[in-house]
Chain A
Amino acid sequence: MKINKLEKLKNLHELTRIRIIEEEIAKEYKNQEMRCPVHLSIGQEAVPVGVSRVLTKKDYIVSTHRCHAHYIAKGGSIDALIGELYGKESGTCKGIGGSMHMYDKKVNHIASVPIVGGSIPIGVGIGYAIKINKSKQVSVIYFGDAATEEGVFFESLHFAALKKLPIIFVCEDNKYSVYTSRYERHGKRDIKKLIKSMDVKFIETKENDVEDIYKKSLIAKKHAILNGPVCIYSKTYRYLEHCGPNNDDNLEYRPKKEIEYWLKKDPIELEIKKLKKIKIFNDEEYLTFCNSIRRKFISSIIKTKNTKSLSIKKLENLEYAK
């Protein structure tokens, strides 16, 4: 399969857009006005961008505490994301959920929840409903490497395989669960073997390579709709602390060499290099693009600070659906 120039540029722009927004959030966070835990995706942009390129607004996604990139890549509203961080009514959950709870029915981002593994069976249920409805959609379930340790992960894969549901499981393996490395939690065993043994088609991507992830997602989507569940497995790396706006390499829970390895595999740098090779990268254009994203972000911040929060009366009315 060939990816045309326009698509290549689009990939780079999406990666960059997410990176800039997350970086700007990290900067703003220090002003102590975004008062909720944030799990930033800086370094991990390639997976959501690659996967989202094959999804339409009608396809569903569910995800985790580290959800900003999933949301942005799915076409979620930046204003709503910022609104949620500031706890305003304009937020994805009207300020009730906070940074770990993205939701947007306009793009079928059904839910992000921060209980590890918590959204996996929900994504399976969505897949089941799609199958019953015979609609040509897929249910995408994002999760981290640690979610594969929860019982509900296996129960969910089992059911999805049994019923041959149109589901793409997407495992973003950044090797860590907070400060604990995968080796400490899994030994030398491979997540790949676990997933294969469940009869879920397994597709591993190249690390942080958005084009590769895009291509494999196309295959995955086709397979999910025709034959049943697929798992896209992608190794990647987060640059900042597990939760919060800072770099925490000073704590030395991740080997220096490992950090260097991944910095050399930065998804954006990789893409720029590729585009330069085929001579479709223009420094000036790129800079203009970056600046326009930054400007939009800043105007979104200003707008959000001036919007109101949900009224307590409305909040108190939300216990039950009426």
Chain B
Amino acid sequence: MPNRKNSFIDAMSESLVQSMQKDKNVVILGEGVTDVKGIFNSTNAALKKFGHQRVIETPVSENALTGIQLGMSLLGKKPILMHARVDFSLLGFDQLINNASKWHYMFGGEMNVPMVIRLIIGRGWGQGPQHSQSLESVFSHFPGLKIVVPSTAKDCKGLMAASIFDKNPVVFIEHRWLHYYSSNFSKKFYKIDLNNSIDIKKRGKDLTILSSSIMLIESLKAAKILKKYDIDIEVLDLRVLRPLKLDKLYSSLKKTKKFIFVDNGWKTFGIGSEIFANILEKNIFLKNIPKRLACKDYPTPSSPHLNKGYYVTIKDICNEVCKCLSVKKNIKSKILNECEHIMSKVPHDLPDLNFKGPF
């Protein structure tokens, strides 16, 4: 595990502890939340402080637990259910979709369901078809759910707190590779408004990139390289997918008139599709043909020989930007060389050189 200060996991851990301190109704549930590894070291501090009464080990029963969590929330508890992989939460889909998402609505707005499901997207080291799916767009389809996808430690802390104290079911999806990044954040308790979907992570004038989670981080890296060549990208972080508020995107597009969307998951029926539809409906004029960069439209193969090129890279992003902006050939090849150089430092299937497997 990364051992940096102010890491994503530090932020998560602090947010959980401070929220639990604020409200004794906040409890954590899940398989592994009390074990020695504490969901990638994110629940150990909460366990130490609040004990097994409030950090609750569970059997491997995702379906029931989602309903149990709902039931608890009806009596005022604020349960956070954790799964070490997004893929495992699919067993709880019936309870989440048929019940939790519509509970408030279908009983006439009388009942609230304040619950959080924390999910982790896997990637690399052969995680393969059933341990690395990015299913944000699936979750985002359902009215009544809020979908949160942080990209930085600072956002993680504030968004998690806001999710816990929201009156609705929130699906909080973090990418495993974000655990290897840090950013400064306040030691005090704070929330980030879930109605403020987009955060401007970098201002620029030449082209707008919208992305979230780990791909937002990759987009920022690409923007940093491009900046050296006087290409000025605006990078927007879509850190809440539902409720979807795109005002900041529209303002940005009115300025740059050029757009690329970088997705964490599959392209077809993905987040990008929804964004593009909104832009069309707003009749926003663009000077480039907008482009979606996404994973290959098939499940992730396990083999490192097969998944090279499966995910979008900084090189793909820079290449697309160069195309959109008709960057001169010699500059473009310099940029792409630089990308390759950076990418060659860490094997494509590792988040960090310190990662040695197996999970």
Contact = CB atoms under 8 A, between A and B. Distances in A.
Interface in A135-152: 146-147, 149-152
A32 B59 contact: no
Given A37-B127, A87-B304, A150-B60, A178 B35 contact: yes
A34 to B, nearest CB: 8
A95 interface: yes
Interface string A15-44: 000000000000001001001111000000
Contacts of B126: 35-37, 87, 98-99
Nearest to A33: B304
Given A178-B35, A185-B59, A309 B128 contact: no
B44 to A, nearest CB: 12
For chain A, give the interface size range: 35 or more
A101 B301 CA distance: 11
Contact of A178 (B31, B64, B358): B31
A190 interface: no
B128 A96 contact: yes
Contact of A184 (B57, B91, B130): B57
Contact of B303 (A38, A177, A310): A310
B357 A244 contact: yes
A6 interface: no
B297 interface: yes
A96 B303 contact: yes
Nearest to A91: B303
Contacts of A116: 60, 88
B275 to A, nearest CB: 24
A174 to B, nearest CB: 14
Interface residues of B, number: 39
Given A150-B60, A177-B31, A312-B309, A101 B302 contact: yes
Contact of A316 (B61, B64, B296, B305): B296
Contacts of B35: 178-180, 253
A29 to B, nearest CB: 7
Contacts of B64: 151
Interface string A122-163: 000000000000000000000000110111100000000000
B57 A180 contact: yes
B354 to A, nearest CB: 12
B306 A36 contact: no
Interface in A297-322: 309-310, 312, 315-316, 318-319
A87 B127 CA distance: 12
A87 B306 contact: yes
A150 B65 CA distance: 10
Nearest to A39: B358
Nearest to A314: B306
A32 B358 CA distance: 9
B130 A115 contact: yes
Given A36-B125, A96-B303, A244 B296 contact: no
Contact of B298 (A177, A184, A244, A315): A315
Given A29-B358, A151-B63, A310-B306, A37 B301 contact: no
Contacts of B128: 36, 96-98, 100-101
B349 to A, nearest CB: 6
User: Of B61, B91, B128, B356, which is in contact with the most chain A CB atoms at under 10 Å from its CB?
Assistant: B128
Interface string A243-265: 11100000111000000000000
Interface in B300-334: 301-306, 309
A113 B128 CA distance: 11
B31 A180 contact: yes
Contacts of A180: 31-32, 34-35, 57
Given A146-B59, A179-B35, A180-B35, A309 B306 contact: yes
A67 to B, nearest CB: 13
Given A29-B358, A96-B301, A151-B63, A114 B306 contact: no
Contacts of B296: 316
B359 interface: yes
A321 B90 CA distance: 24
Contacts of A149: 59-61
Contact of A35 (B63, B130, B297, B304): B304
Given A36-B126, A37-B127, A87 B303 contact: yes
Interface in B41-78: 57-64
A113 B130 contact: yes
B358 A185 contact: no
A310 B302 CA distance: 12
Interface string B148-172: 0000000000000000000000000
A147 B60 contact: yes
Contact of A114 (B31, B131, B309): B131
A186 interface: yes
Contact of A185 (B60, B304, B306): B60
Contacts of B358: 29, 36-38, 243-245
B32 A95 contact: no
A201 interface: no
Contact of B87 (A97, A101, A115, A151): A115
Nearest to B88: A115
B36 interface: yes
B306 A315 contact: yes
Contacts of A319: 297-298
B32 A315 contact: no
B202 to A, nearest CB: 33
List of 4 A-B pairs having minimum Cβ-Cβ separation, nearest first = A36-B126, A87-B303, A98-B302, A95-B303
20 contacts: A35-B125, A36-B302, A36-B303, A37-B126, A86-B303, A87-B303, A95-B303, A99-B302, A100-B128, A101-B129, A178-B31, A179-B32, A180-B34, A185-B58, A185-B59, A243-B358, A251-B36, A252-B36, A309-B305, A310-B305
